[in-house]
Amino acid sequence: MTTPFPLTPRIATRYISAPTMVRLVQTVGVAQSIRDIAQRVRADFCRWSDFDKTARVANHSDVGVIELMPIADTVRYSFKYVNGHPKNTRDGLPTVMAFGVLADVRTGAPLLLSELTLTTALRTAAMSALAAQALARPDSRVMALIGNGAQAEFQALAFQHLLGITELRLFDTDPAATDKLVANLHDSGLVLTRCTSTAEAVRGADIVTTVTADKTNATILTPEMIEPGMHINAVGGDCPGKTELHADVLRMGRVFVEYAPQTRIEGDIQQLPPDFPVTELWEVLTQRAPGRQSAQDVTVFDSVGFALEDYSALCFVYETAQRLGLGETLDLIPTLDDPKDLFGTLRARRAALRRAA
């Protein structure tokens, strides 16, 4: 008698652990990984209308936030789980921890389960550099890096290799963070200059990147620090009640964002009226809106991180891992002889145990 289900499809989900992701990045190279992710983000932003987009879903507590970031086109769906807990380092934990899933839209089958803590740092740096390519002066060579924590080295290398930055002016309220950064980048070829304040670091910089962690309405940059022609890459303000820029800094130039409905809630522009004009970056990348219009313009990228960037990064991880033969196969979904008989998997398991006894 012919069974109605002659073939039992097995859903094999590729799993990329944190150690495996380290191997992947070491094999490809940090700079090349950032470059590859940036290229994918650019391509995906240029097909903006293909995606079903929504602001991330966030659950806030007194000590941090846990978020889900979903997005999909007609082929693949992805989401990222990510937290932000600035005080975690006191307990020996990272401030940011993340993992993500890439799935097949046609069937819903999960294709990839991957770490995203390291990957998030790479994609955030890639996004910063991509925005700066569109907005900063092409002759930019000096960057002030305010906040020298876990994200800082990735930002530095992205700007070095994608924009040609040659000098970093460094400041962090924790000198040990700057010590760590200098040790990690001592052989990078970058000129590293320690500064004693934000104002000192910013003075004379072409680009200013702020990537601080404290969940507070801070004013890391104030109007008197801003010079004509600067590009400001504001990365750290990424949830309600957390900002880095004085509101008047935002009024000094044109502001660019990833996804305005999300940035108005989470970004530095949360300080401003809901009708404050901003330009979404995809409009610049597709030449629907101008970016920098003169060498004297002040441009601000109010970056909060958007799910489309994680989609691009997960596609990079999935395809690169396949090419390199990295990762494990997980039986995340049960294999069913009859797709309508989920309970039968329990009966089969019980029968197998009886036979073994």
90-148 confidence digits (pLDDT tens): 999 988 899 999 999 999 999 999 999 999 999 999 999 999 999 999 999 999 999 99
pLDDT mean over 18-43: 98
Q: Are 246 and 219 in contact (CB under 8 A)?
A: yes
Q: State the pLDDT at residue 179.
A: 98
Task: Name the active-site residue from 36, 238, 302, 310.
Answer: 238
pLDDT one-digit tens code per residue, 198-216: 999 999 999 999 999 777 7
Which residues does residue 83 pair with via DSSP β-bridges, in sequence order?
66
CA atoms within 13 A on the CB side of 106: 2
Please enumerate in sequence order all residues whose Cβ is within 8 A of that of 354, keeping only pairs 6 or more positions apart, or say none: none
Number of Cβ within a 10 Å radius of residue 330: 14
pLDDT greater than 50 at residue 6: no
**Residue 214 is a catalytic residue:** no
Candidates 311, 331, 335, 340; CA nearest to 50 is 311
The confidence score (pLDDT) of residue 155 equals 98
pTM: 0.92
Q: Is the dihedral of CA 31, 163, 125, 193 positive or negative?
A: positive
Q: Domain residue spans in the chain?
A: 13-118+309-352, 137-305
Most trustworthy range by pLDDT among 4-18, 106-120, 233-247: 106-120
Q: Kindly give the pairing relationship between strand 65-72 and strand 57-60.
A: antiparallel
CATH number of the structural domain 137-305? 3.40.50.720
Angle, vertex CA 220, rays to CA 217 and CA 226, nearest 5: 130
How many other CB atoms are found less than 10 A from the CB of residue 88?
A: 17
- Name which of 122, 123, 158 is nearest 143 in CA terms: 158
Q: How confident is the model at residue 5 (pLDDT cuts 50, 70, 90)?
A: very low
Residue 3 has pLDDT above 50, yes or no: no
pLDDT at 357: 63
Question: Quick one: 13-118+309-352 is in which CATH superfamily?
Answer: ornithine cyclodeaminase, domain 1 (3.30.1780.10)
Residue 308: its pLDDT value, please?
98
Per-residue confidence at 338, pLDDT binned at 50, 70, 90?
A: confident
